[in-house]
């Protein structure tokens, strides 16, 4: 089994196609939509948690890539600017996914990007603008 | 056993002073006892790094040709209005100032992406700032308009002057209402969704000197990555508050007014800060050295998070309406455990003040002193203590009848 959080960028021409439905029906993949929006006449964006058997997952991603969907891991799109982060920890109780964890000894805040659900709450709540969303 | 600041400075000059942080003194005092610790240790360094809204800087930008008198006129740095009510070319930039055209909270919650605190960070970072000014013109200052880039290296004086920093303790903020609220203590989720606090606790300068017996006017400090001074008690100073047996106040109490040459400070210790739905501010790094003059002062510096207490306050109703009565008391050890109990509910905690940065400041100051680069200053006067009767008064409103 594999489960990953990914960001899909749909070109304009694919906006009308039932692509995620195909992932479920043809490749037997489970999906959990975390975020979706469409910029009219430009592109669509979908943040998904996608799970399934390793081989099916690989084939599903291959299908997406082949039809022209750009696929990238979510961790690449939500990043922490370590130069600006002061490790204050105000983000810790704000994050609904528990992606920020305080190290008990040093009190440094670890960002576990694999837990991130791309809600963006930390981006607005961070007083030093250390959290960045790029998608 | 007593020591004087002069004696400690002699040891610092010879490279013989024993300097430890306010974290390290805890272990030393526990293992060896306060008496021995006071003999052994000469200086304890503290640190804090958090948003401090009563912060700002004044600049003398130098005279243009022909001359302009900004006093009585208007001036902006990177579109942020600066205070001009001084002589011709002195201006003061406050951390919470916002562009005239910022929508503020009209689109709620406001984003407050850039304000006075960010101007100060940009200035210290050596970035060019856009100065736009208008004046009314006089015989001796005829010019009415000025638009130019300025840089910290070119202005005459650039001085950080913060009327209230390093608060001695602060409230824990929670929200009892059923809607999210946006405060200077950060976003507070409804129905006790989170509890935010803002203090370095056992590393905080004035929690290590609860009765202001080691800190006073003229105390040399770490300020914004450079050297600064305590110049007065901070505004809203309130030493006459309830205290624990160890002398530490369990509510906001003392504070420091601090000043220093901005030209030798560093942008990583003066950071422009945004509180969503509230406004802008400046996160300031401060470290105060505490000379261990006697056992009493040493005992104060050995205080631990489990001996430091503060009040839980509802920011949806009690705080804005000035209602008395908190929701209970918690220690910094409890706050740092990640959750506290409020009205029988387990509430996750978040900190606005950075403990890792406070540790870094205390260590930098320790190194400065150990290397002999930083001597201690004898205060010219101590700050008012609880016996002074000095208090913090609310505004007595008197209606103006026309």
Task: Tell me the pLDDT band of B305, cut-offs 50, 70 and 90.
Answer: very high
The pLDDT, as a whole number, for residue B28 is: 98
Q: Give B348's contacts in chain A (Cβ within 8 Å).
A: 92-93
B186:A90 CB<8 A = yes
pLDDT of residue A77: 84
Tally of structural domains, chain B: 2
B140 is catalytic: yes
Q: Are residues B186 and B280 in the same domain?
A: yes
Inter-chain CB proximity A125 and B186 less than 8 Å: yes
Residue A93 and residue B195: Cβ atoms within 8 Å? Answer: yes
pLDDT at B109: 98
Whether residue B402 lies inside any domain: the answer is no
State the best of B351, B357, B358, B361 to mutate against chain A, taking most chain A CBs within 10 Å.
B351
Phi then psi dihedrals of residue A57, to 5 deg? -60, -45
Of B271, B276, B357, the CB nearest to A125: B276
Within a domain: residue B102? yes
Are residue B70 and residue B214 in the same domain, yes or no?
no
Confidence of residue B48 (pLDDT cuts 50, 70, 90): very high
Nearest to B356 among A83, A91, A106 (CB): A106
Whether the full predicted model's pTM is greater than 0.90, yes or no, is: yes
Cα–Cα separations (whole angstroms), residue A117 to A37, B47, B304: 15, 35, 37
Output the six-digit token pair for B382. 């101590």
Parse chain A into domains and list their residue ranges.
2-76, 79-135
How close, in Å, is residue B179 to chain A by CA atoms?
14
Chain B residues closer than 8 Å to A88 by CB: 50, 351-354, 357
Q: Note the pLDDT tens digit of each residue in A117-130.
A: 888 999 999 999 99
Instruction: Identify whether residues B312 and B382 lie together within a single domain.
Output: yes
Out of B159, B188, B222, a domain closes at B159
Residue for token pair 């029988």:
B344
B351 to A128: CB separation less than 8 angstroms, yes or no: no
* B148 and B286 both lie in a single domain: no
User: What backbone torsions phi and psi does residue B278 show, to the nearest 5 degrees?
Assistant: -125, -55
Over pLDDT 70: what percentage of chain B? 100
Residue B245 sits in the same domain as residue B98 = no
B195, B274, B354 member nearest A129 (Cβ):
B274
Give me the residues paired with residue B181 across strands: B188
CB neighbours of residue B266 within 10 Å: 12
> What local confidence, expressed as pLDDT, does residue B351 receive?
98
Both B137 and B166 in one domain: the answer is no
- Burial of residue B298 (CB within 10 Å: 0-12, 13-18, 19+) is buried
The pLDDT, as a whole number, for residue B53 is 98
**Domain end among B140, B159, B178:** B159
Q: Chain B residue with minimal CA distance to A102?
A: B338
Look at B357 and A92 and tell me if their CB atoms are within 8 Å: no
Give the residue-averaged pLDDT of B48-55: 98
Nearest Cα of chain B lies from the Cα of A6 at a distance, in angstroms, of 28
For chain A, what's the residue count?
135
CB B112 within 8 A of CB B275: yes
pLDDT band at A75 (very low <50, low <70, confident <90, very high): confident
Same fold, A2-76 and A79-135: yes
Residues of A in contact with B268 (CB under 8 A): 83
Look up the CATH architecture of domain A79-135.
Answer: 2-Layer Sandwich (3.30)
Cβ contacts from A onto B, under 8 A: 72
Contact criterion met (CB < 8 Å) for A88 and B50: yes
Query: ipTM value of the model?
Result: 0.95
- pLDDT above 90 (res A17): no
Length, in residues, of chain B: 402
For A33-69, write each residue's pLDDT tens digit: 988 988 888 888 999 999 999 999 999 999 999 999 9
Does A15 have pLDDT greater than 80? Answer: no
Q: Is the confidence at residue A135, as pLDDT, over 90?
A: no
Residue B250 CB coordination number (10 Å): 18
Last residue of one domain, picked from the residues B159, B175, B204: B159
pLDDT score at A39: 84
Report the chain B residue with the minimal C-alpha distance to residue A128. Answer: B273
CA pair distance A95, A66, nearest whole angstrom: 35
Q: What is the pLDDT of residue A40?
A: 83
Mean pLDDT within B319-331: 95
For residue B187, give its domain range: 5-52+162-386
- Asked whether residue B129 falls in the same domain as residue B210, the answer is no
Q: Convert the pLDDT of each residue in B166-217 to its tens digit.
A: 999 999 999 999 999 999 999 999 999 999 999 999 999 999 999 999 999 9
CB contact burial B36-68 (16+ within 10 A = b; e otherwise): ebbbebbbbbbbbbbbbbbbbbbbbbeebeeeb
Give the model confidence (pLDDT) of B224-265 as tens digits: 999 999 999 999 999 999 999 999 999 999 999 999 999 999
Residues 10-69 of A with CB under 8 A from B: none
| Chain B residues 313-342 with a CB less than 8 Å from chain A | 336, 338
The pLDDT of B64-92, averaged and rounded, is 98
**In Å, what is the CA distance from B239 to each residue of B210, B323, B385?**
9, 21, 6
For B181, nearest residue in chain A (alpha carbons)? A125
List all residues of chain A from 97 to 126 with a beta carbon under 8 Å from chain B: 102, 106-108, 124-125
pLDDT level of residue B325 (50, 70, 90 thresholds): confident
- Establish if B399 belongs to a structural domain: no
Higher pLDDT, residue B320 or A114: B320
Q: Which CATH number fits domain A2-76: 3.40.190.290, 2.60.450.10, 3.20.20.70, 3.30.70.260?
A: 3.30.70.260
pLDDT band per the 50, 70, 90 thresholds, residue A78:
confident
Which of B53, B140, B198, B377 is catalytic? The answer is B140
B290 in a structural domain: yes
In this prediction, residue A38 carries a pLDDT of: 84
Residue B313 lies in a domain: yes
Span B125-161, pLDDT tens digits = 999 999 999 999 999 999 999 999 999 999 999 999 9
pLDDT band at B1 (very low <50, low <70, confident <90, very high): confident
Beta bridge partners, B20, equal: B44
Average pLDDT, chain A: 93
* Closest-CA distance of chain A to residue B103, Å: 16
What is the rounded average pLDDT for all residues in chain B?
A: 98
A75-85 mean pLDDT: 91
- CA B325 from centre of chain: 26
């Amino acid at each position: 089994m594999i489960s990953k959080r990914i960001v899909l960028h749909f070109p304009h021409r694919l906006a009308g196609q039932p692509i995620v439905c195909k992932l479920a029906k043809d490749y037997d993949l489970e999906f959990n939509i975390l975020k979706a929006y469409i910029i009219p006449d430009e592109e669509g964006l979908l943040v998904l948690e996608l799970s399934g058997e390793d081989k099916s997952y690989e084939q599903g991603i291959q299908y997406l890539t082949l039809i022209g969907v750009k696929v990238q891991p979510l961790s690449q799109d939500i990043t922490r600017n370590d130069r600006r982060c002061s490790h204050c920890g105000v983000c810790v109780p704000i994050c609904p996914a528990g992606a920020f964890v305080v190290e008990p000894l040093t009190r440094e805040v670890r960002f576990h990007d694999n837990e991130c659900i791309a809600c963006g709450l930390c981006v607005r709540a961070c007083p030093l603008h250390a959290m960045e969303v790029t998608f | 056993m007593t020591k004087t600041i002069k004696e400690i400075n002699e040891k610092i000059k010879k490279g013989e002073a024993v300097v430890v942080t306010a974290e390290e003194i805890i272990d030393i005092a526990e293992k060896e006892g306060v008496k021995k610790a006071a003999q052994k240790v000469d200086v304890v360094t503290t640190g804090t790094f958090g948003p401090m809204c009563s912060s700002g800087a004044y600049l003398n930008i130098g005279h243009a040709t022909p001359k302009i008198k900004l006093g009585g006129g208007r001036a902006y740095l990177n579109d942020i209005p600066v205070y001009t009510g001084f002589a011709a070319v002195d201006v003061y930039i406050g951390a919470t100032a916002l562009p005239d055209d910022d929508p503020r909270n009209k689109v709620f919650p406001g984003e407050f992406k850039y304000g006075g605190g960010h101007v100060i960070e940009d200035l210290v970072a050596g970035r060019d700032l856009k100065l736009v000014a208008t004046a009314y013109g006089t015989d001796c200052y005829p010019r009415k308009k000025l638009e130019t880039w300025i840089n910290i290296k070119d202005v005459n004086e650039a001085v950080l002057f913060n009327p209230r920093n390093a608060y001695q303790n602060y409230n824990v903020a929670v929200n009892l209402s059923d809607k999210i609220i946006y405060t200077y203590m950060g976003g507070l989720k409804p129905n006790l969704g989170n509890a935010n606090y803002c203090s370095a606790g056992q590393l905080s300068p004035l929690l290590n000197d609860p009765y202001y017996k080691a800190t006073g006017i003229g105390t040399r400090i770490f300020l914004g990555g450079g050297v600064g001074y305590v110049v007065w008690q901070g505004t809203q100073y309130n030493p006459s508050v309830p205290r624990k047996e160890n002398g530490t106040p369990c509510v906001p109490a003392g504070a420091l007014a601090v000043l220093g040459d901005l030209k030798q400070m560093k942008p990583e210790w003066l950071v422009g800060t945004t509180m969503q739905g509230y406004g802008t501010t400046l996160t300031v790094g401060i470290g105060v050295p505490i000379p261990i003059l006697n056992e009493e002062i040493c005992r104060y510096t050995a205080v631990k998070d489990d001996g430091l207490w503060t009040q839980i306050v509802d920011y949806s109703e009690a705080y804005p309406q000035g209602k008395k009565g908190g929701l209970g008391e918690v220690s910094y050890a409890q706050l740092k455990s990640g959750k506290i109990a409020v009205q029988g509910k387990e509430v996750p905690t978040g900190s606005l003040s950075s403990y890792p940065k406070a540790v870094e400041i205390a260590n930098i100051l320790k190194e400065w002193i150990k290397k002999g680069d930083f001597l201690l200053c004898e205060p010219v006067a101590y700050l008012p203590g609880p016996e002074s009767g000095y208090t913090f008064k609310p505004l007595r409103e008197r209606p103006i009848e026309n």
